[in-house]
Amino acid sequence: MAGFLQEIVEGLGAGAIYASLALALVLIYQFTGIVNFAQGELAMFSAYIAWQFMAAGLPFWLALVLTLAVSFVGGMLIERVVIRPVEGAPELTVVIVTVGLFIFVNAAAGWIWSFLIKDFPNPFPGGAIEAGGLSLGYSTLGIMAVVGVVMGLLYLLFQHTKVGLGMRAVASNPSSARLVGIRVGWTLALGWGLAATVGAVSGILVAPLLFLEPNMMGGVLIYAFAAATLGGFDSPVGAVVGGLVVGVAETLAGAYVGFIGSDLKVGVPLVIILFILLLRPQGLFGRAAVERA
């Protein structure tokens, strides 16, 4: 039993990682209505920036703050320079631009920092809380706390601020949003900036665990995508719950479903997601689109 609970704890830990990136995905979806394939790579790039700051001798927390700031500005710049020219083009065109961005950022990071892995300091202490045969690492706890805080902030942003209202308006109907006076361009840039910042948090959380290298976020992105889909692409709470469900399902499958084997375990969360989606096509926390002819 303790073993089982321990697996769940571990699964939650992994899930929190996926959730951290899923939050960034959900954020940008809320702002712009597109899925950003480059989100993971931007997070990785932010982690490199943090690494570079630390390599230059800055202490971790200062490097963190600077990285978040740089990521925010960088995200806005990307929107202005890369996304703006295709604004108003068909949705898939924008999505493919983010695919191009993915390839570009990945290669650029390899070019600048090489593909060799780098270690990244863990902001959380190494130990673990032991209780009732369960062990809960401080690192896991720390990640969960950060993810929880980010989720809460995003929830407040979406639901309880004017900016949040404006950005949901932009995502749902850009031309009407303009008519009521929303600066759509700035709102989108802001969205990219914020998403890049949340992504940077994710990258900095992930890097100490998976080691920093240009392909670090590739696998995470897929699980984050799964998490966001499961939770519903329009809900930060959903992203987190989705991430945790995916993490736990994956871990339990790997641990207990022996006949499947570790090679096919990836199928288990996918099947679960498919099943849930068939019951709730808009995801667990998503709002069903109301369509009236």
Partner 1 sequence: MSENAFLTVTDLRAGYGGARVLHGVSLAVGQGEICAILGPNGAGKTTLLRALSGMVRVRGDVRLDGADLSGRSPDTIARQGVAHVPEGRGTFMPLTVEENLRLGAFVRRDRRSLRGLRDLRGRRGGSAVDADLERVHTYFPVLKTRLKQVAGSLSGGEQQMLAIGRALMLRPRLLLLDEPSLGLAPMVTQELFRIVRAVNEEERTTVVVVEQNAHLALSIAQQAHVLESGRIVLSGSAEQIRADEQVAQSYLGYRV
Partner 2 sequence: ACGGREAAAPSTAASGSGSGECQGQQTTGITDTSIKLGGIYPLSGPASAYGDIPKGIKAYFDYINAEKNGIGGRKVEFVVRDDGYQPPKAVEEARRLVEQEQVFALFQTLGTPSTTATWDYTNQQKVPQVFVATGASKWGSDTAHPWTIGWQPNYISEARVYAQYLKQERPDAKVAVLYQNDDFGKDLLGGFKKAIEGSKITVAAEQSYEVSDPSVDPQMRNLAGSKADVLLNITTPKFGSQALAADAKNTSWNPLHIVNNVAASITVLKPVGFPNVQGVVSSTYYKDPNDPKWKDDPEMMLYYAKMKQYAPDADPTVPYHTFGWAVASSFHKAMEAAKCPTREGLRDAMRALQNVQVDMLLPGVTLNTAADDGFPIESMQLMKFQGERWELFGDVIDTRKEFGPLTN
Partner 3 sequence: MSGPAEVTEKAARAAAPTRGRSLARVATARRQWIVMAVLLAVACYAPFQLVPFRVFQLTMVLVYAVALLGLNLLVGHAGQISLGHGAFFAVGAYGSAIMIDRWDTPHLATLPVAAAVAFALGLALGLPAMRLRGLYLALVTLAIAIFLVPLLKRFEAVTGGSMGLTLGKPVPPAWTGLAEDQWLYFLALAVTVVAFLLAHGLLRSRVGRALHAVRDNEAAAEVMGVRLSFYKTLAFAWSAMFAGAAGCVYTWVIGFVSPDSFALTLSITLLASIVVGGLGSFSGPLLGGLFMMFVPSISQDVNDAAPGVIFGLLIIAVMYVAPTGLAGLAGRMTRSITKILRKE
Q: Which does 101 bind (CB under 5 to 8 A by kind): partner 1, partner 2, partner 3, none?
A: partner 3
Query: Is 281 near partner 3 (CB under 8 A)?
Result: yes
Residues 68-107 that bind partner 2 (CB under 8 A): 103, 107
Residues 244-273 that bind partner 2 (CB under 8 A): 250-251, 254-255, 261-263, 266
User: Pattern 29-48, binding to partner 2, x per CB under 8 A?
Assistant: --------------------
Query: Is 166 near partner 1 (CB under 8 A)?
Result: yes
User: Pattern 220-239, binding to partner 2, x per CB under 8 A?
Assistant: x-xx----------------
Q: CA 25 to CA 32: how far, in whole Å? A: 11
Q: Which does 65 bind (CB under 5 to 8 A by kind): partner 2, partner 1, partner 3, none?
A: none
Query: Is 108 near partner 2 (CB under 8 A)?
Result: no
Stretch that binds partner 1, among 78-86, 177-185, 215-223, 252-260 (CB under 8 A): 177-185
Size of the site for partner 1 (CB under 8 A): 28
Q: CA 198 to CA 21: how far, in whole Å? A: 8
CB nearer partner 3, residue 139 or residue 187:
187
From 45, 72, 120, 225, residue interacting with partner 3 (rule: CB under 8 A): 225
Please, which residues have CB within 8 angstroms of residue 110's CB and are 6 or more apart in sequence? 214
Stretch that binds partner 2, among 24-32, 53-61, 113-121, 144-152 (CB under 8 A): 113-121
Q: CA 247 to CA 227: how far, in whole Å? A: 9
Query: Is 84 near partner 1 (CB under 8 A)?
Result: no
